């Protein structure tokens, strides 16, 4: 490869990037001033103002810059009043081991720690944010108690893009305050489009993307949930193909990999 490329390196993850492409900002857009004291029980310390180094930016192997991201965790002051907050959760794209675990973790944390009472699953991916297709599922700790023992996602899923203007208006019309999206690169692009539309309208609705992909091709993540299971099962398949190929004269085994642009 003759052209110079920026390479984002984070432990064992390499993501090539063309020099003319600007580096994305890792700063989280603020919805406004956080006015309310965080009095909710939390075993973790507050992380206000703390950052973590994400990746070394290199050109021809020479470090030239370092990106930092805000450290995730509880803050001393929060933007939403939990008792008045309405939350939506959506799962999109292909199935992935651990989806129900994440849904369960969100609901347990929102209800038990913060006292959020209005939590809804928007069924069948981004179709759930289109008025004529939307199906909403009320979620609480009793509903999600044992879903981590099941595969798939209790919210269902779908593929295909929806109009971000329609989805943003749906969130506004239905008085949602926070949207959690669980999905891969396409889902996160959709979440970004919804967020941009909400910011354009000046609507204080938070959009939170949770990376889900067995391909492990999301920037700035070491390992996305579901990836380890995919590798483990792929090893079994590859070993079987290798064994069969070795057992035949001039045997050839073909293994098809997925992930499109994954590296």
The contacts of residue 147 (CB under 8 Å, 6+ apart) are 100, 103, 104, 154
As given in the structure block, the two tokens for residue 21 are 């492409």
Q: Of 154, 179, 90, 102, which Cα lies nearest the Cα of 127?
A: 90
Look up residue 125 and give its two tokens.
């991916």
Sign of CA dihedral 155, 190, 87, 101: positive
Q: Which long-range CB contacts under 8 A does 194-199 form with residues at least 24 apart?
A: 194/129, 194/164, 194/167, 194/168, 195/29, 196/164, 197/164, 197/165, 197/167, 197/168, 198/168, 198/171, 198/172, 199/29
The two most distant CA atoms of the chain are separated, in Å, by: 73
Q: Where are the strands (E) in 132-205, listed by range? A: 136-138, 178-183
Phi, psi (rounded to 5 degrees) for 235: -60, -40
CA 41, CA 193: separation in Å to the nearest integer?
34
| Residue 66 dihedral angles phi and psi, to the nearest 5° | -140, 130
Residue from 7, 8, 5 nearest 222 by CA:
8
Positions annotated as catalytic residues are: 215
């Amino acid at each position: 490869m003759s052209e110079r490329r920026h390479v984002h390196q984070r432990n064992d993850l390499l993501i090539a990037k063309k020099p003319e492409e600007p580096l994305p900002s890792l700063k989280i857009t603020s919805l406004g001033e956080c006015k309310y004291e965080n009095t909710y029980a939390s075993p973790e310390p507050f992380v206000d103002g703390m950052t973590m180094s994400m990746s070394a930016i290199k050109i021809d192997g020479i470090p030239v810059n370092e990106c930092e991201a805000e450290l995730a965790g509880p803050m001393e002051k929060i933007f939403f009043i939990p008792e008045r907050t309405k939350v939506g959760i959506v799962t999109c794209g292909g199935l992935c081991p651990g989806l129900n675990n994440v849904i369960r973790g969100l609901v347990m944390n929102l209800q038990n720690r913060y006292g959020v009472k209005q939590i809804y699953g928007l069924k069948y991916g981004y179709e759930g944010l289109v008025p004529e297709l939307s199906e909403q599922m009320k979620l609480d700790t009793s509903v999600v108690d044992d879903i981590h023992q099941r595969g798939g996602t209790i919210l269902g899923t779908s593929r295909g893009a929806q109009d971000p203007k329609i989805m943003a208006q749906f969130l506004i019309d239905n008085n949602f305050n926070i949207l959690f999206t669980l999905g891969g690169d396409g889902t996160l692009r959709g979440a970004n489009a919804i967020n941009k539309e909400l910011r354009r309208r000046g609507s204080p609705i938070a959009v939170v993307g949770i990376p889900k992909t067995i391909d492990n091709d999301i920037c700035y993540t070491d390992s996305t949930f579901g990836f380890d299971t995919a590798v483990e099962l792929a090893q079994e398949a590859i070993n079987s193909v290798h064994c069969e190929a070795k057992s035949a004269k001039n045997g050839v085994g073909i293994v098809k990999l997925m992930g499109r642009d994954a590296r």
